[in-house]
Amino acid sequence: MKIKSELLPHQKEAVEKLVKLKVGALFMEQGTGKTITTLEIARQRIEKGKIDKVLWLCPCSAKKNIKAEIMKHCSSDMLPYFIICGIETLSTSIRANSYLLNLVDEKRCFLVIDESLLIKNPRALRSEHILAIAEKCQYRIILNGTPISRNEADLFAQFQILDWRILGYRSYWSFAANHIELDDYGRFRRALNTDVISRKISPYVFQVKKKDCMELPEKKSYIEYFDLTEEQDAAYGYAAETLLVEVNEWKPETIYRLFSGLQAVISGKRLIFNERGNHFDTEEIFKNPLDNPRVQMVMHEVDWLNGEKAIIFCHYQSEIEQLCKLIPDSVRFDGTVRMKQRMSNLEEFSDTKNYLIANKACAGYSLNLQFCHNIIYMSNDWDLGTRLQSEDRVHRYGQQENVRITDICADHTIDEQIIRCLRDKEGLLDSVKREIDNSSNVKESLKSIIYGRKKEFFDGTELIEEVK
């Protein structure tokens, strides 16, 4: 029984620390080898007769890839020990939950929770089901590139599944009372006593960043700007003024609604408000997608790549549908495609197709796409965690080329702020809140964000010398 591949020094160090613990957390950035590290920990426990099965929970979209990794790295006599299940399945499938509960009752299981941020909500049904399974597993490990996507509250559910005694709180509310400060509306304001949290979890955590353990090709970032059409510009201004009426102070829900509406406009949609202006539907501005300047810019990038493989991430399903029709040399990878077909599309992308048109929720986790070195973000959401995960699909161990990342950005719009925050690895709402807190006028502060860089108008007067 052996692992076929040689472990790198940082992977050996991780094994040395975590194999001694019954519970642990492996926070290794994408591409640094958290899967092979975990497989070696499993191998040692199997060999010593400590476990009967390895129960590997991961995103449904990653199941096939995890299976391939296990078959690649493990000797044939290890394979029967593994059972792989999609985390999302545990939210809805009574049959799956029943099967796994019976399994952990009958067998000594090593529980592996891959992409553990998917269970960051302690009150979600999924978290409750996994906790019930975890409590019957003597050995447990959580895996993720980073333990936090929003704030320190993300840590509670993950470490509760390992062992509530690590943080020392039975309930989330006890944890929050000591470590979370909320605003007047019950929203997260800041974390408290983070040094205490770090001290408590440190003995159980091994963390690795790519820059500390390996040399990867350079990651180059570009922004391609486009101007809104006159109709879009008018729709954007109208939407901004209508939605700003609701915003009188820092309220995340009204800020979210404002920015979501503006994002829809710059992607080519018109907002249709009800009489009170407190609800809107959308309709397409452009009957022909090629009249949409955002689509035009993406097609320009595709032409420029001249057949090089690229992943195109889209925020809206309508954008994915449009691009799939306009780019025949492409395959689709999003929630509308059944899992079996997604995997087939992924194989096509690897072999014969040049463009994978996807959303980050599906293609942003646990896929190894090092054969591609181009990413185009047609549009972005605000989730920093999924953005970093999606970049790491190609910027990881095994990549031979410099990675080119291109953001399509609508000039003088909220796009600019979103992209700046994502690239600075800062949460958008946190950034906005800071600017509002530092401003005496909430709406003026928001307008500077909404319209991006100040517009400069040229009227030609500086070229005219007045004759007197």
Average pLDDT, stretch 72-81? 93
Taken in order of first residue, the domains within the chain and their CATH numbers are 9-213 (3.40.50.10810), 219-450 (3.40.50.300)
Q: CA end-to-end span of the chain, whole Å? A: 95
User: For 382-393, what is each residue's pLDDT tens digit?
Assistant: 777 788 888 888
Least confident of 183-192, 248-257, 399-408, 454-463: 454-463
Total residue length of the chain = 468
Tokens of 396: 């990881």
User: Which pLDDT belongs to residue 459?
Assistant: 37
pTM, rounded to two decimals: 0.66
Q: Over 60: is that where the pLDDT of 462 sits?
A: no
Least confident of 217-221, 263-267, 369-373, 463-467: 463-467
Cα–Cα dist 53/81, whole Å: 5
Least confident of 21-35, 165-179, 185-199, 376-390: 185-199
User: Considering Cα of 96, then 101, then 106, then 111, what sign does the dihedral take?
Assistant: positive
C-alpha distances (whole Å) from 109 to each of 2, 38, 48, 83, 112 are: 19, 14, 14, 10, 9
Residues 6+ apart with CB under 8 A from 311: 355, 356, 358, 363, 369, 372, 374, 375, 376, 390, 393, 394
Task: Give the number of other CB atoms < 10 A from CB of residue 284.
Answer: 14
User: Phi and psi of 289, rounded to 5°?
Assistant: -55, -30
Least confident of 53-67, 142-156, 412-426, 446-460: 446-460
Tokens of 215: 């040399």
Place of tokens 């895996």: 143
CA-closest candidate to residue 328, choices 305, 346, 353:
353
User: Would you place residue 145 in the very low, low, confident or very high pLDDT band (cuts 50, 70, 90)?
Assistant: confident
Residue 2, phi-psi category: left (phi > 0), alpha (psi -120 to 50), beta (remainder) = beta
Q: Is the separation of the CB atoms in 396 and 211 below 8 Å?
A: no
DSSP H or E segment with residue 271: strand 269-273
